[in-house]
């Protein structure tokens, strides 16, 4: 039987591209894709043709390099292993989550309903491609409205990308008004803009340099302070978390961090062990924090998207700001 294949659509999420191809070929478990395409393994292939390298296989079948496939169809530029996007060595899915999307907190509502769709984009896709699909840019963590249409995104549990790789007529959970409004808060808008620009320009992103500048800015503002222990050892006292807890809309924090924030009197204790609090605390070490936390902190401590772009991208002149 001939194996059916179609290349990924513009900004199509790698995960739903994979599920779409599996559905077209009646492959029920995506791990079996490698077996079904064994005869297409190229001679120059430098890794085994197994499920551990599924995205390599998908990129080969798409006529793309694995680097371009990771850069244009995954959320890897926003994840812990962002530096592997352009890796020349084979990237194993058993050690690097190529198909996942990052979240601010694994036990948040956002993390349960992490697959999102814009109904306006869906209508446009139906006209342009005679089908619909899951866009990568809609899955940015902390985003509840479409970056293009500014309309609320419908939200689904993760496995919908498997059951509906062509999500033409499914209805998801719609955010309430307070959460939609929160997406227009200046810090949240700046965060969403720079996260979107990071996905669109992964080659130009300089996380270490931006993190360095973030810490100097935090020091200037008195948000981070250099302290000395009685042993003579110095350390950094970091209050970036407090800045976010005090300034970001509660509805947004409740969705993406924890429902605890629905209580207006709630502030995590300085030594709190919540995952998001620990991750924010790691911002005091350059190289120790996840991209989405660096981006959120940049959005909170700098006042303009242009200023952030000038330290986050090189060359910044090549960056086209999102249209609003
Ligand atoms: Zn849209």
| β partners of residue 238 | 224
| β partners of residue 227 | 235
Indicate if 164 and 53 belong to the same structural domain.
Answer: no
Predicted confidence at residue 109, as pLDDT, reads 96
Predicted confidence at residue 44, as pLDDT, reads 87
Q: Is 293 within a domain?
A: yes
Q: Are the C-beta atoms of residues 208 and 200 closer than 8 Å to each other?
A: no
Predicted confidence at residue 321, as pLDDT, reads 85
Indicate if 272 and 204 belong to the same structural domain.
Answer: yes
CA–centroid distance, 289 to ligand 1, in Å, is 30
CA–centroid distance, 150 to ligand 1, in Å, is 7
Indicate if 190 and 155 belong to the same structural domain.
Answer: no
Q: Is 74 within a domain?
A: yes
Q: What are phi and psi of 115, to 5 degrees?
A: -105, 120
Q: Is 90 within a domain?
A: no
Domain range holding 122? 109-175
Reading the block at residue 154, the tokens are 């419908």
Q: Is 265 within a domain?
A: yes
Burial class (CB in 10 A: 0-12, 13-18, 19+), 140: buried
CA–centroid distance, 62 to ligand 1, in Å, is 25
CA–centroid distance, 106 to ligand 1, in Å, is 26
CA–centroid distance, 112 to ligand 1, in Å, is 21
279: DSSP letter: H
CA–centroid distance, 138 to ligand 1, in Å, is 8
CA–centroid distance, 240 to ligand 1, in Å, is 32
CA–centroid distance, 119 to ligand 1, in Å, is 6
Mean pLDDT by runs of 10 across the 324 residues of the chain is 94 97 96 95 92 97 98 97 96 95 96 96 97 97 97 95 94 95 98 97 96 98 94 94 97 98 94 95 93 98 96 90 78
Torsion of CA 311, 312, 316, 322, to 10 degrees: -120
Q: How far apart are CA 319 and CA 236, in angstroms?
A: 33
HEC sequence for 105-128: CCCCHHHHCCEEECHHHHHHHHHH
CA–centroid distance, 147 to ligand 1, in Å, is 7
- Give exposure, 206-238, as e/b (b: 16+ Cβ within 10 Å): ebeebbebbbebbeeeebbeeeeeeeeeeeeeb
Indicate if 137 and 200 belong to the same structural domain.
Answer: no
Q: Are the C-beta atoms of residues 148 and 193 closer than 8 Å to each other?
A: no
Of the candidates 108, 105, 74, the residue with the CA atom closest to the CA atom of residue 91: 74
Predicted confidence at residue 127, as pLDDT, reads 97
Helix (H) or strand (E) holding 246: helix 240-247
Predicted confidence at residue 302, as pLDDT, reads 98
CA–centroid distance, 283 to ligand 1, in Å, is 32
Number of domains in the chain: 3
CA–centroid distance, 2 to ligand 1, in Å, is 35
Q: pTM (2 decimals)?
A: 0.96
Q: Domain boundary residue among 135, 155, 175?
A: 175
């Amino acid at each position: 039987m001939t194996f059916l294949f179609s290349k990924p659509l513009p900004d199509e999420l790698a995960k739903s591209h994979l599920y779409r191809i599996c559905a077209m070929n009646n492959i029920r478990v995506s791990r079996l894709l490698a077996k079904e395409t064994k005869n297409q393994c190229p001679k120059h292939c430098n890794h085994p043709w197994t499920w551990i390298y599924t995205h390599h296989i998908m990129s080969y079948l798409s006529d793309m390099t694995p680097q371009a496939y990771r850069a244009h169809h995954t959320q890897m530029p926003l994840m812990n292993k962002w530096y592997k996007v352009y890796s020349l060595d084979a990237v194993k899915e058993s050690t690097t989550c190529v198909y996942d999307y990052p979240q601010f907190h694994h036990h948040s509502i956002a993390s349960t309903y992490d697959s999102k769709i814009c109904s306006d984009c869906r209508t446009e896709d139906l006209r342009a491609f005679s089908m619909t699909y899951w866009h990568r840019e809609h899955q940015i963590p902390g985003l509840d409205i479409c970056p293009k249409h500014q309309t609320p995104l419908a939200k689904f549990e993760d496995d919908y990308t498997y059951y509906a790789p062509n999500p033409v007529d499914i209805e998801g959970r719609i955010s309430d008004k307070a959460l939609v409004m929160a997406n227009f808060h200046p810090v949240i808008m700046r965060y969403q803009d720079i996260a979107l620009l990071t996905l669109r320009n992964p080659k130009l992103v300089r996380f270490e340099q931006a993190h360095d500048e973030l810490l100097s800015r935090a020091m200037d503002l008195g948000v981070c302070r250099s302290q000395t222990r009685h042993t003579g050892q110095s350390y950094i006292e970091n209050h970036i978390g407090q800045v976010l807890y005090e300034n970001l809309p509660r509805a947004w924090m409740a969705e993406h961090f924890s429902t605890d924030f629905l209580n207006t009197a709630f502030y995590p204790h300085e030594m709190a062990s919540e995952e998001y609090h620990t991750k924010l605390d790691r911002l005091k070490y350059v190289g120790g924090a996840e991209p989405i936390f660096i981006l959120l902190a940049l959005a909170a401590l700098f006042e303009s998207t242009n200023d952030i772009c000038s330290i986050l991208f090189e060359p910044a002149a090549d960056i086209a700001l999102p249209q609003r």
